[in-house]
């Protein structure tokens, strides 16, 4: 028994049609090709990207069937491919006279208008055409109109088009995938929630609708509700990796790091490993103060993203938190080779050097911080603390004055200046600076005490603090 082979039959059919076409071209008697056959011949040449032969066939077809809208539309399609947009529109106007119900007429006109930068014409055409079609054809036009609005950067109307698709076809996957992004982009999360709740009421096992509902909740920072909806999505489709990914993010927002790790590990099981997932898991372990595990995942991320200096910095922070100054500096060295002047990296390197008692080295790093980010208060604080701890009092006083000038007189630097003056034996001036600091921001007294806890044994300091406590609540 001979098996059916549709592909072979198609090849044989087109081969026969091409023979008939050649006979007609060469003027052989009794040669005849109907409209549908001409359409297949033109389509064959288009598939082969032989536009010259496609146009030749379209011209011959138009001679044979001058009133065929179908063949005129094919000819217009070739003209658009050849960037002859105005000619294509003229042909399409002729085709519309013979048959205005072919959807391709409107799609090709839209393509031509967009190519001619006439988005308003394209919008007007498609909005009118929506009244002529129903079902799948109407949905196809809505997607076309959505693309025009995208090109036009009218994103709210784009959202409206996708919403209309889902109102007609609630299970349309393309619309469900697209509207998730545009709901977030346009900020129409409340509307997205209502729309997807309606879909779920009718189709409770639509995992994409559950996912979009969850994403809309997440857009409103309703993370608990988002997680519940993601749970429904993964119950329906247990390999829904994007649901686990977003659920991991929601758990992180709620500071439920253990649950976040479980969700993100599931992403790694279901999809190709990604640097951002490894980094997020590392972040969770970091927050749980499991620094060894945090490093493990940051390194995994770094292997996939080796040029990202921030990952080296994050690893350095885990070592710093464990008091491993040398190991931290080794990672910072890698980060600084990529971004030499990054203030955060220099700041942490300086703090490591301070912890090692290498104050001159620390000063070099911390000076880089205040040079590259002069209004960054933390940099000045670290530099002054370093100079104070290292016993460089004169330079510390100079830097407090510079910091006060650049930061607009931040009160913390009056406290620091007072502490340095006390350490340098300049008690009268130190008291004046302390009084000025207390007047400006008594709540920052803890910064003064942290710099030198023994200062509270100084009776003059105690008297100043007591006086301000009586007059103001600290």
**Confidence (pLDDT) at 128:** 85
Q: What pLDDT score does 8 carry?
A: 56
Give me the domain span that covers residue 7: 1-100
Asked whether the beta carbons of 318 and 340 are under 8 A apart, the reply is no
The verdict on 84 and 18 lying in the same domain is yes
- pLDDT lower than 50: segments of the chain: 1-3, 30, 474
Are residue 421 and residue 359 in the same domain, yes or no?
A: no
* Residue 83 dihedral angles phi and psi, to the nearest 5°: 65, 30
348 and 419 assigned to the same domain: no
Domain for residue 158, yes or no?
no
Global confidence as pTM: 0.81
The last residue of one of the domains, among 50, 68, 100, is 100
Q: Which of 71, 100, 129 is the last residue of a domain?
A: 100
What's the total number of domains in the chain? 3
Please indicate, yes or no, whether residues 365 and 419 belong to a single structural domain of this protein. no
In this predicted structure, what is the pLDDT of residue 50? 65
Burial letters for 108-142: b for 16+ Cβ neighbours within 10 Å, e otherwise? Answer: bbbbbbbeeebbebbbebbeebbeebeeebbbbbb
Same domain, residue pair 433 and 474: yes
Distances from the Cα of 251 to the Cαs of 67, 272, 377, 404, in angstroms? Answer: 64, 22, 32, 42
CATH number for the domain spanning 11: value is 1.25.40.10
**Residue 302, pLDDT score:** 97
Instruction: Tell me what pLDDT residue 109 has.
Output: 87
Per-residue pLDDT tens for 407-457?
A: 999 999 999 999 999 999 999 999 999 999 999 898 999 999 999 898 888
Question: What is the per-residue pLDDT across 68-86, written as a single tens digit (0 to 9) for each?
Answer: 788 788 888 888 888 888 8
Are 251 and 263 in contact by the 8 Å Cβ rule? The answer is: yes
- pLDDT at res. 243: 97
Structural domain includes residue 215: no
pLDDT score, position 30: 47
The answer to whether residues 371 and 453 belong to one domain is: no
- 97-100 CB contacts, 8 Å cutoff, 24+ apart: 98/67, 98/68, 98/69, 98/72, 99/69, 99/70, 100/132
Which pLDDT does position 246 carry in this prediction? 97
């Amino acid at each position: 028994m001979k098996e059916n082979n549709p592909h072979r039959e198609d090849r044989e059919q087109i081969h026969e049609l091409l023979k008939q076409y050649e006979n007609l071209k060469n003027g052989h008697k009794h040669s005849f090709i109907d409209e549908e056959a001409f359409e297949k011949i033109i389509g064959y040449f288009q598939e082969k990207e032989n536009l010259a032969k496609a146009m030749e066939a379209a011209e011959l077809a138009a001679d044979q069937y001058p009133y065929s809208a179908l063949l005129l539309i094919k000819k217009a399609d070739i003209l658009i491919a050849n960037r002859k947009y105005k000619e294509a529109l003229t042909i399409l106007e002729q085709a519309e006279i013979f048959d205005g119900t072919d959807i391709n007429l409107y799609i090709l006109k839209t393509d031509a208008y967009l190519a001619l930068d006439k988005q308003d014409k394209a919008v007007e055409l498609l909005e009118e055409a929506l009244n002529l079609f129903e079902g799948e054809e109407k949905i196809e036009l809505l997607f076309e109109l959505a693309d025009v609005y995208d090109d036009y950067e009218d994103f709210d109307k784009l959202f409206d088009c996708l919403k209309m698709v889902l109102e007609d076809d609630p299970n349309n996957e393309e619309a469900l995938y697209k509207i998730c992004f545009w709901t977030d982009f346009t900020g129409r999360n409340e509307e997205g929630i209502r729309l997807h709740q309606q879909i779920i009421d009718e189709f409770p096992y639509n995992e994409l609708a559950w996912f979009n509902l969850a994403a809309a909740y997440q857009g409103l920072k309703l993370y608990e509700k988002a997680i519940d909806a993601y749970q429904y999505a993964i119950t329906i489709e247990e390999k829904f990796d994007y649901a686990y990914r977003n659920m991991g993010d929601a758990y992180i927002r709620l500071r439920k790091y253990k649950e976040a790790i479980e969700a993100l590990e599931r992403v790694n099981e279901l999809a190709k490993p990604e640097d951002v997932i490894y980094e997020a898991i590392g972040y969770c372990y970091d927050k749980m103060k499991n620094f060894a595990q945090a490093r493990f995942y940051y390194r995994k991320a770094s292997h996939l993203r080796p040029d990202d200096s921030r990952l080296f910095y994050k690893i350095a922070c885990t070592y710093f938190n464990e008091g491993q100054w040398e190991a931290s500096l080794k990672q910072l060295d890698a980060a600084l080779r990529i971004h030499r002047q990054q203030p955060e990296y220099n700041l942490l390197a300086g703090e490591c050097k301070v912890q090692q008692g290498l104050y001159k080295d620390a000063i070099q790093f911390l000076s880089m911080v205040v040079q590259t980010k002069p209004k960054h208060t933390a940099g000045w604080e670290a530099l002054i603390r370093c100079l104070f701890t290292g016993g460089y009092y004169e330079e510390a006083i100079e830097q407090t004055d510079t910091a006060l000038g650049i930061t607009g007189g931040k009160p913390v630097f009056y406290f620091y200046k007072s502490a340095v003056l006390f350490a340098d034996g300049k008690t009268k001036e130190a008291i004046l600076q302390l009084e000025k600091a207390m007047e400006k921001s008594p709540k920052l007294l803890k910064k003064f005490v942290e710099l030198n806890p023994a200062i509270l044994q100084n009776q003059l300091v105690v008297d100043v603090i007591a006086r301000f406590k009586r007059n103001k609540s600290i």
